Structure 1
């Protein structure tokens, strides 16, 4: 409702492009003045307020450029007919105000870089039709700008999901596994930028042309293919096309007897031929890593693919099935290093999601990663898992840095490697570096909601709340089922002063995720920060009766209520238990009220972070 036009609030008409432009006007008005153009407690009151124009920005910020003020007031006209007709018209008008904007006074909101704001506004206009998506009765986030500029590179490519021409449908584990492994091989080549599987999977049923998809992803080439399994035989076909010229760069068919050695050979050969077709530079080490195939049985490999497939479901049931399949793969072949490393990463995920007690999960993850590296010292996935164990549980910071660096060296094109490095940089206080790394991950994984949320978390750590909100909104646009997106939108709105809107988002998070320990914790914290202490205490009582609540969870609600001594008691217990949340003590804005407290400073020292 915060960004709905008057005609939508009153129900007089459906949303049009002029309704979208009204929302752009609201954003520009608040960014310029530091104040919303209109506020009200109910939708009825908001409709009544927006039936008249807002005060001119110059009454709040004297000296505002006259052309810019005129444009904003036109955008906020109660009558749609008086607004600019198209986004292109507004973009042209904005471009004409940028020179004058450079001498405009500093906005009261603290956004002092108005020229940059106008550039973002032009980007907003390109996405103006998306405002309609958010102008619903649900709380509306900021209209997400294009956060990462996508630049086409000849050696950037997307390998679209392979078509399954046999039985089993598009999600057949063998077909999905071969596709994932080819992407993994390509990620080992530093001269390529390969779009992550989590992004290309979202394009499987995309009706747009190859050129349109490539433009969205910023790639110069697209690979497509198919797999047919008939009895003991396998046929893999691959086609690589330059999207600008439509030239076919590669077209090949691989017919093999279905053995594990042959599958690995095909995966390596396809990756190497794609790289050669794109004229990508490969070092001898990279070429050797691509050609280095595991030595395992077909039975173990198919069980491994089933384990990987179930892990991607990102649920407790998927976790349990994944562990069972990977354990079966290792029973068939205890020397299968990739199965050990995949198991290590899955145990890390179980610790983060609360599917296993943290100590038990991280112990298993450490054991499996070390076993994988004993068998194959060049497994990037095993180093990545060890990095997260060292960071999230052991608090062995130098070792974590070393493991992360090695993982990125071995797989320079892996988006997850950048996300993990960004997390490590953030918790060690290098928040600007963390944001930069998370945006690099986003270039490799541009339409994945989880990748957007990872970048939102890093922006949150850096106190860049508007960027965090935009990234969370973008994540929800890609995947509306991601409850974490509502959590970040709620927190960023709370910290930006939009308390009621923030609480609506946090309540939406609970609806989406269920009444889990995490969703209840953040909701209780939100009520407390908003001054609704009775409701916060009700949530705290519910948490006491909820299985899986940890001391760190209670600490956040105590902190919101201003009960700092109890919050510190709970945090000290959480540090004793080596709760992974404690790595954020040095950087998370939620803990800012405790900074400078001697007890809190001692906790930072215990975790190995600077006080």
Structure 2
């Protein structure tokens, strides 16, 4: 439901906007649940009211059988919670209140990622309340109403998580009794969270004798519950079967006009097989659902764990390979979800997944999608089949991480994308110091499940330990995490983390290699002079090689320095080839080899290298952007424009893609389009303005171009301005002498942009000048 004032999205049951507090139209338009037939709840609490001396009301979330629910701030611990105010007619029964206390005390023992936590039960001025964990997101009922039937993979994922949560509760002797989609939240990460454990049973005794208060929801009641017989965990299995049925088909297994009608159908009518309503449902999954819905509970799945095992594999169909005959088995490792309270643990979740990618690339006969493409789905609720289609893989490895102090819980699931079935799943409860061993176990399990082996033997692919210092390892992962952000402040932050990792472990070669590489990134994405960055990068790369000459990342870092800053083409080629010799699957080394071909005018060789890595990392925008640049400099403008636009579809903020698109328009004399494109680039300052000045000069706006040139020539006296792009604007204005002075300064400063001198069409006006040829000789490009 959209707020009429600020247009923020709200849940279907919300009465006030979660962003601005504006009242929303009431009602969700669907059938009210059976427990909503009770008397009126307590009067509403307005935004800003402090309840019970500590809970400040933020918004009303909805109304249910128990009463109204609010989102509130617990002012004592500065945390948002969900506050449920119990209806007076329920609270008036002393036995019910006693039962509440006992049941909620039991429910508080449930500690599980798929169950919302119960915090407190209390009373304030005659109003009884429950304080519980607040889960931002959308309840499953609202999701189904909004989108209809869910994809099979998504339905399986949600059902599996519900099973996980139920099994924890059932092990403690707790049965939910009112399991339904509106009691299941789907949080912002797409995880299912079961709500309201212990509440239904608390008022069950009253329900037996009070005809105005029927507990449970008739649409989801088991037959034994409908007959007011004793219930056990198998009653929850029945309710979960209805939820799974509804997710897969978008409808309930029974339709009736009244509560009594639903209860009768639960006892007497056999539901239609869900496969008949949705042809995409595997027959074996249909059998799983129908077994959940058996009238005789003895014939149902005996517990949530057995149902979970059936959903994951046991009852799943045998699947065939997706690719053509002879193609390698393929997998994508998605970033693991951060289940910890601290959002800053994202770095560890991404680092864990990336380490698994590195290990799995050493598995013989296995094609592993590279990190950038696999991680492009981070934070998106994309169906597994869609991920498989876009990445052209048969299997997906995903998981979650929960970290509390030095305790670590990692879950991992291997999923077949054809049908969404779990091929393998495992949970690891370990100490943080065991993280390397966990990586090994997951990789070995995946390889075994897919009947492939590590090249060189069963232990050849195990995660290499570049440091024994776990704190240094975490600092390194943080450095990698921030290095990829491609903004000055965030990339600079990675330098701090790499240096701190080195302080913890001075022999950490991988951290030195990461530090060397980040200086190169910082040059291209920030107004920082090479003369300041080049010496630091060179020192770090040399140290990395001194510590470990068999480290592919160290040879890559040195190759990058020789290529972009020293223009030592043979040296660069040798280092990058050494990196590939040490790690044949290291696509970034191959990317820099492609650039080496590109800037030396070997366009077809560059494109061949780029095509090979694009196949492994199809959603990596940097690779697509490089293909656009290659076609641009080869004057194949139609292909160049196509690849530039494809890059922007993947990542509209990747610098300097808009500048490259502007150059394509410039070569086609589409000056207005060129300027508009360049304005959108995220790299601002001299780089953007000098390129726009070149467009002005070529379209005849010489005064505007001269003004830009004058401004940046003056500013270059006190701050860094690329001499290369100053020269390009000078040449566009016919000021060759000044232009060559700027190029000489770029050479003296090891300006990384000088790498484009041989092929860049912006240099066309200077090619006939002897000074141009002399400079080509100085950078070994003659």
TM-based fold match above 0.5: yes
Does residue 229 of structure 1 match 2:396?
Answer: no
Aligned counterparts of 1:457 and 1:275: Cα–Cα separation in 2: 38
1:600 aligns to what?
772
Does residue 534 of structure 1 match 2:703?
Answer: yes
Question: In the alignment, which of 686, 694, 697 is matched to residue 525 of structure 1?
Answer: 694
1:294 aligns to what?
466
Question: Secondary structure of the equivalent of 1:288?
Answer: coil
Q: Contact between 1:296 and 1:336, CA under 8 Å: does it hold in 2?
A: no
Question: In the alignment, which of 346, 352, 355 is matched to residue 178 of structure 1?
Answer: 352
Does residue 207 of structure 1 match 2:381?
Answer: yes
Does residue 572 of structure 1 match 2:741?
Answer: no
Offset at residue 386 of structure 1 (A): 0.7
Offset at residue 154 of structure 1 (A): 4.4
1:492 aligns to what?
664
Q: Contact between 1:195 and 1:445, CA under 8 Å: does it hold in 2?
A: yes
1:74 aligns to what?
none
Within 5 Å, which residues of 2 pair with 1:54-73?
Answer: none
2:232 aligns to what?
none
Change (3 A) 1:526 1:268: farther
2:22 aligns to what?
none
Offset at residue 222 of structure 1 (A): 0.9
Question: In the alignment, which of 475, 489, 513 is matched to residue 303 of structure 1?
Answer: 475
Offset at residue 556 of structure 1 (A): 0.6
2:63 aligns to what?
none
Change (3 A) 1:173 1:506: closer
Deviates more, 1:544-553 or 1:340-349: 544-553
Q: Which structure has more RCO (C-alpha within 8 Å, separation ≥ 6)? A: 1
Question: Secondary structure of the equivalent of 1:198?
Answer: helix
Give per-residue Cα distances to partners, 1:367-407, cap 9 Å, x unaligned: 22222222223322111111110111122211100111122
Question: Secondary structure of the equivalent of 2:680?
Answer: helix
Which structure dedicates a bigger proportion of its chain to strand? 2
Give per-residue Cα distances to partners, 1:545-566, cap 9 Å, x unaligned: 4432132221010121233343
Question: In the alignment, which of 713, 729, 744 is matched to residue 544 of structure 1?
Answer: 713
Aligned counterparts of 1:574 and 1:203: Cα–Cα separation in 2: 40
Give per-residue Cα distances to partners, 1:455-494, cap 9 Å, x unaligned: 2222223322222211221122222233522211111011
Question: Secondary structure of the equivalent of 2:435?
Answer: helix
**How large is the RMSD of aligned CA atoms in angstroms?**
2.5
Change (3 A) 1:519 1:289: same
Offset at residue 502 of structure 1 (A): 1.9
Change (3 A) 1:525 1:189: farther
Per the normalisation by structure 1, the TM-score is 0.69
Aligned counterparts of 1:190 and 1:495: Cα–Cα separation in 2: 46
Per the normalisation by structure 2, the TM-score is 0.55
Aligned counterparts of 1:294 and 1:586: Cα–Cα separation in 2: 40
Q: Contact between 1:423 and 1:434, CA under 8 Å: does it hold in 2?
A: yes
Offset at residue 166 of structure 1 (A): 2.3
Deviates more, 1:241-250 or 1:215-224: 241-250
Aligned counterparts of 1:190 and 1:340: Cα–Cα separation in 2: 30
Q: Contact between 1:310 and 1:321, CA under 8 Å: does it hold in 2?
A: yes
Q: Contact between 1:187 and 1:412, CA under 8 Å: does it hold in 2?
A: no
Offset at residue 533 of structure 1 (A): 1.1
Change (3 A) 1:270 1:431: same
Q: Contact between 1:421 and 1:437, CA under 8 Å: does it hold in 2?
A: yes
Aligned counterparts of 1:483 and 1:321: Cα–Cα separation in 2: 19
Give per-residue Cα distances to partners, 1:79-126, cap 9 Å, x unaligned: xxxxxxxxxxxxxxxxxxxxxxxxxxxxxxxxxxxxxxxxxxxxxxxx
Within 5 Å, which residues of 2 pair with 1:139-178?
Answer: 153-169=327-343, 172-178=346-352
Offset at residue 285 of structure 1 (A): 8.8
Does residue 480 of structure 1 match 2:648?
Answer: no
Offset at residue 287 of structure 1 (A): 5.5
Q: Contact between 2:525 and 2:683, CA under 8 Å: does it hold in 1?
A: no
Change (3 A) 1:491 1:399: same
Offset at residue 291 of structure 1 (A): 4.3
Question: In the alignment, which of 393, 416, 439 is matched to residue 565 of structure 2?
Answer: 393
Aligned residues: 456
Question: Secondary structure of the equivalent of 1:395?
Answer: coil
Change (3 A) 1:383 1:355: farther
